[in-house]
Amino acid sequence: VVLDPFMGSGQTAIAAIKTNRHFIGYDIEEEYVKLSEKRIKEFLMEFKSPKLFDFI
């Protein structure tokens, strides 16, 4: 488990996902919470979607 008490843009969370780890992140600034949520959702959509060349 990766703990990030200063989550900011969510880069640590994305790195945790890439390395198959669970993460807990938080930030006191609502602006950064929204930014990190958006970035993580976008990353997950791209990361989990199959690529054409993954099957070749």
Q: What is the pLDDT of residues 6-28, one digit of tens each?
A: 999 999 999 999 999 999 999 99
Number of domains into which the chain is organized: 1
pLDDT at residue 56 in the model: 55
More confident position, 47 or 7: 7
Q: Give 40's Cβ-side CA count (13 Å radius).
A: 21
> How far is the C-alpha of 55 from the C-alpha of 50, rounded, in Å?
9
pLDDT at residue 48 in the model: 77
pLDDT at residue 29 in the model: 96
Taking CA atoms, 50 is separated from 37, 40, 46, 47, in Å, by 22, 17, 8, 8
Domain, as residue range, for 26 = 2-55
pLDDT at residue 47 in the model: 80
- pLDDT over threshold 70, residue 36: yes
- pLDDT over threshold 60, residue 44: yes
